[in-house]
Amino acid sequence: MTPFPSRDVLLTQVGGRVFERLDPGSEAMGESLALPRTRESVDRLMQELVGRITAFRSGYLAMMELRLEATRRPELRAVLTEQIRANLQDNIDFHLQSGMPGDADTVVELYLALNWLIVERLTLPDLFDQARAEALVTALVHRIVPPE
């Protein structure tokens, strides 16, 4: 007997575990609140985010696999959509409450742009080396985040 009654339940549990592992934790969140409310602080936070996610290569790639699987499984798609929507809203709320420059659209635009950079770093790591990836994060932050 399997501990999971269906493949959908198993995949949903895997997705939840990946999100837990990608969470920066309360200590990191507290440190980010101590930063000045500047574009440079957002850059620092985004550099940390990209570094943390790319360091958990297997987890992020598992999430990509789950997303592909969700195109064939409506129940999984519903769960992932809700989970990712809630995660994105948490990021928007944190950004706005922290007083960092920018609005909700700023967070969504960074989310979209940096996610694809992460995909490139994990699937085609020779396309952008570490230094180029860091420069791209800074360029994106400076294009998307308004000055203070």
* Domain ranges within the chain, ordered by starting residue: 7-144
Q: How confident is the model at residue 113 (pLDDT cuts 50, 70, 90)?
A: very high
Q: How confident is the model at residue 146 (pLDDT cuts 50, 70, 90)?
A: very high
Query: What number does CATH give the domain 7-144?
Result: 1.10.357
pLDDT in tens, 78-104: 888 998 999 999 999 999 999 999 999
| 12-31 mean pLDDT | 71
Output the pLDDT for position 30.
Answer: 74
Output the pLDDT for position 115.
Answer: 95
**Tokens read off for 28:** 């990191």
3-state secondary structure of 36: coil
Q: How confident is the model at residue 12 (pLDDT cuts 50, 70, 90)?
A: confident
